[in-house]
Amino acid sequence: MSIVDKLPMLGDSMLRVLIIGNAPGEDLSQWSNLVLDSDLIIACDGAMEKCQSNGIVVNVLIGDMDSISEPSQRYAESKRVKIIKQTDQNTNDLTKAISYADSVGATKISIINVDGGRSDHQFANYLSLLEAKSDARLLLNDCTVRALSNNKPISHSIEIGTEFSVFSLGQSSGINLAGGKWVLKNAVLESNSTGLHNVAVEDVISIDCKTGNLLMFVSH
């Protein structure tokens, strides 16, 4: 029985999901520990080929299947990967993967191989985080990106001295930020560069807000 078949039996167990995007050029070997620590691995469309060449066992393949090669799709079928073709063009493949992960009870979602490529695709990836119901984060080459809203506060473990930035998408209010050199108490942020280049002075950064949506970038 595959992990996909076992999902309904897991109940309240931790489910750590790894989503692998289809960005060009990234070396997936740097994420080998994360691959080993993940309970469920989802490949977005053409990422299946890179997973195959890196020996990564994929459980679910999802997307509109416009960038996967026929040999890679046949390989996925031969390995009994669960293939979910979704042709809805109102969402990108990453959003489709996040939605599936949420639907099967993901408690943590890590997203890799989404660096580079077109700038509009990169920005859409940031926005996809806002649609996640669970704890989702983009792991980029230079930083980790997380999203928060009024029903999704953040407590982020961090090394003291690490730079981080917090940006608002539109206006956000009632913002509280602790653990940084510059703290916020019931603050309002607009869509500007005010939150650039804060520095961790504690080993946990805590952020919450009453209204709005925020993106947090933590430097590696």
Domain match, 193 and 171 both: yes
Q: Tell me: the pLDDT tens digits for 148-200?
A: 998 899 999 999 999 999 999 999 999 999 999 999 999 999 999 999 999 99
Instruction: Transcribe 39-97 into DSSP letters.
Output: SEEEEETTHHHHHHHTT---SEEEE--SS--HHHHHHHHHTT-EEEE---TTS-HHHHH
Structurally, the chain folds into a number of domains equal to 2
Mean pLDDT along residues 80-94: 92
pLDDT tops 50 at residue 9: no
Structure-token pair, residue 149: 């809203």
Domain match, 61 and 109 both: yes
Among 141, 158, 183, where does a domain finish?
A: 141
- Classify residue 107 as exposed, middle or buried by CB count within 10 Å of its CB (0-12, 13-18, 19+): middle
Provide the whole-model pTM.
0.92
Structure-token pair, residue 47: 């990422």
Among 77, 109, 141, where does a domain finish?
A: 141
Q: Tell me: the pLDDT tens digits for 133-148?
A: 999 999 999 999 999 9
Mean pLDDT along residues 43-47: 95
Q: Tell me: the pLDDT tens digits for 49-82?
A: 999 999 999 999 999 998 999 999 999 999 999 9
150 or 102, greater pLDDT: 102
- Classify residue 120 as exposed, middle or buried by CB count within 10 Å of its CB (0-12, 13-18, 19+): exposed
- Which CATH number characterizes residue 83's domain? 3.40.50.10240
Bridge partner residues of 109 (DSSP): 17, 136
The identity of residue 54, as a single letter, is N
- Domain region containing 90: 13-141
Name the pairing type of β-strands 60-63 and 40-44. parallel
